[in-house]
Amino acid sequence: MISENIMQLSSAKDDENFIIYQKKVYENANEKTRLEVKMAAKLFDYDLKSHLEQLETHHVKGTDF
């Protein structure tokens, strides 16, 4: 099984079309992640606000507890 995977990896590294395909997949994933991060930065984080309020209620928001 392991030797079969190593052979497939060797073949994939020599397959120029596969390399181009994988590069496009990687670039698309990066672009999608960038767009999602950009969108998320504009959204208000209700969970974080709730968590900070809970910490403040219990006086553990600082680092001196």
Render pLDDT for 16-34 as a digit per residue (tens, 0 to 9): 888 899 999 999 999 999 9
Q: What is the pTM of this model?
A: 0.51
Domain extent listing, the chain: 2-57
Round to whole Å and give the CA distance between 45 and 30. 23
pLDDT at 5: 64
- Which string of b and e fits 45-60 if b means at least 16 CB within 10 Å? eeeeeeeeeeeeeeee
pLDDT at 62: 67
- pLDDT < 70 regions, the chain: 1-3, 5-7, 9, 61-65
